[in-house]
Amino acid sequence: MKRPLHGPLRGPLHGRCRLSAGGAALALLAILALAACGSRGDRWDRPLRTEGPIAVDGELLWLDQSLSALVAATPSSTTCTPTLGDPRGLAGIAGAALVIGVDVDGPALQRIPLSGGASSRIPLPAAFDRIAATPDGLHAVLFYDPAAPPRSGALARDLNQIAVVDLAAGKATSIAFRTGAVAPQSVAFSADGRLAAVIFDRAVALVALEDAAWLQVPLLVPPGLPLHVREALFSPEADFLFVRTAELDDVIAIRIQSAPLGATVNFLSLGGATELRAIAVPKEPGFAGFVAALYRGNAALLDAGGDTTRTAAVPLDGEPSRIADLGGGRFLLHGDPSQGSGSMYLAAWDPLTGRIAQNRLEGRIVAEPRVGAGSVFLPHLAEGAGAALSVATVEMDSVRLRLRLRPVGLSGLPTATAMSTDGETLFLGLEVERESSGAAPNGGSRKDFSGSTGAIVEIRSDDLVGGGVVLDDTFDSLGIVGGFVYALHPSPLVDLTFVPSSDLARRAARRVDGVLATGLMGCDR
């Protein structure tokens, strides 16, 4: 349902099975939907399986796997588009959604245009489960998920098989690896979209996407030791791939050779350091061939070729778990919301000079930190029962490195964050006390604080001030789509609120309830 933030129900669901707008009641709406879109069949009895949302071209998309439907939501409508049968995987490229499904001609990658019109299909060699699309939208890598339920009639599948899809040419090329491992854990792409790294637990497969040439790179570890990858990062020039695993204290550095495709492997370490927690690839030209590594009690800049004479390391007084690249060759080391009291520690680090500045927040981090405009925004608890947002920036003069913290007081508990595309504005979700008013026994007025609700606050990086809006419900996450901030409320059928990012006001907010009910009502097939 689309409705204002307060007041009666005012509008029906919209769909590509389009329903006319108007002031119909919910019961009448359901009858109209069923009449317009066909009988409901058994769709109400199936378990709801969905994937999403993802943001594409100003729309939020969900794949309703149980109903073979793509559901899209905007502030003004929700739409429902049928997909191929037994859909798996969802990805977005400019102007379209990508879904793997099966029709009478076999498995295919379906390309669904978001502006309307007929969808197209690319035949596939197998019915895969997951899609990873390059940032430029020219290629996709399809692979299996061993945890996904088997498709009807599928008795066996080669979990080492993938497909490389040229989306412009509409052609899929099958590749069968022999890693001795189960299905890939993840897929990473180089910044230029030229290379893909398919990550297994004991191997990495490099794939040149233009011609589907590939190279399997075994990771030489003791027999029987699986490696669960936590991070896989290409260098800016795509001449190295850096891998961090849960089991090793080494950074695995894979040097990549092109034409023909080749690779050599180095295991990089800092003597005596343990518990490798994070890696980062500096983007500054002067750091080519280096990787930053964060350990328990140490941080180091490691030479990708294994030259230990080029190592730059510093001891730490705390135990951060993340590295934020602030540009200019400087980093902020910090924790994450899952760390508890350990996330109070901060350190600014300049590897080239070896300088470090350390500080602590008043309380633990409670919502996802965000990087923007050369600063890190850190929502955390404050002294007593309060909460605050600290904006961390790094400054260096001829004498020392400084870590500057600018505090912003908050009137609620931080629950979610989202950063504007230009990196200049943080949108912060808060859980605040719900205020209601009524008549007091003596004839005056009173205010009741019972329960809680959600609010969105805008924090601009230049002056740390901005507007805010109180919503009708709490929410789990925030995001940015098409000039709007959206908040996802707790609901199995997806309730959300859209607010223009340039106008955080109640009058401008739009609430859309039961987004996935569009599919339950049926799509126009």
Instruction: Quote the pLDDT of residue 20.
Output: 29
Place of tokens 């399809």: 142
DSSP class per residue in 375-438? EEEEEEE-STT-EEEEEEEEEE-SS-EEEEEEEEEESSEEEEEEE-TTSSEEEEEEEEEEEEEE
C-alpha dihedral, 450 to 452 to 453 to 456, nearest 10°: 120
List phi, psi (to 5°) of 228. Answer: -95, 110
Largest CA distance in the chain: 87
Instruction: Quote the pLDDT of residue 42.
Output: 56
Asked if residue 64 lies in contact with residue 99, where contact means CB atoms within 8 angstroms, the answer is no
Cα–Cα distance, 427 to 411 (Å, whole number): 15
By CB atoms closer than 10 A (0-12, 13-18, 19+), residue 300 is: buried
Q: What is the DSSP letter of 206?
A: E
Answer left, alpha or beta for residue 112, where phi above 0 means left and psi between -120 and 50 means alpha: beta
Cα–Cα distance, 297 to 315 (Å, whole number): 6
Q: Name every residue whose Cβ is closer than 8 Å to that of residue 443 and which is 6 or more positions away in sequence.
A: none
Global pTM value: 0.86
Place of tokens 């309060």: 386
Q: Name every residue whose Cβ is closer than 8 Å to that of residue 131 and which is 6 or more positions away in sequence.
A: 89, 90, 91, 98, 99, 100, 109, 140, 141, 142
pLDDT one digit per residue (tens) for the chain, 525 residues: 333 343 322 333 233 443 323 332 343 234 334 334 444 455 555 678 899 999 999 999 999 998 999 999 999 989 999 999 999 999 999 999 999 999 999 999 999 999 888 999 999 999 999 999 999 999 999 999 988 877 877 778 888 999 999 999 999 999 999 887 778 889 999 999 999 999 988 889 999 999 999 999 988 777 777 788 899 999 999 999 999 998 999 999 999 998 899 999 999 999 999 999 999 998 888 888 999 999 999 999 999 999 999 999 999 999 999 999 998 889 999 999 888 777 899 999 999 899 999 999 999 999 999 999 899 999 999 977 789 999 999 998 878 999 999 999 999 999 999 999 999 999 999 999 987 554 444 455 444 546 899 999 999 988 888 889 999 999 999 999 999 999 999 998 999 999 999 999 999 999 999 999 877 776 754
Instruction: Quote the pLDDT of residue 446.
Output: 45
Instruction: Quote the pLDDT of residue 178.
Output: 87
Q: In what order do the strands lie in the sheet with 161-166?
A: 130-133, 139-143, 161-166, 171-176
By CB atoms closer than 10 A (0-12, 13-18, 19+), residue 407 is: middle
Place of tokens 């729309």: 59
Instruction: Quote the pLDDT of residue 29.
Output: 39
Q: Looking at the chain, how many residues does it have?
A: 525
Nearest to 19 by CA among 525, 521, 496: 521
Instruction: Quote the pLDDT of residue 512.
Output: 94
What element of type H or E holds 27? helix 26-37
Place of tokens 């295991």: 267
Answer left, alpha or beta for residue 422, where phi above 0 means left and psi between -120 and 50 means alpha: alpha
Asked if residue 245 lies in contact with residue 228, where contact means CB atoms within 8 angstroms, the answer is yes
Single-letter amino acid code for the residue at 137: G
Helices (H) and strands (E) in the chain, counts: 2, 41
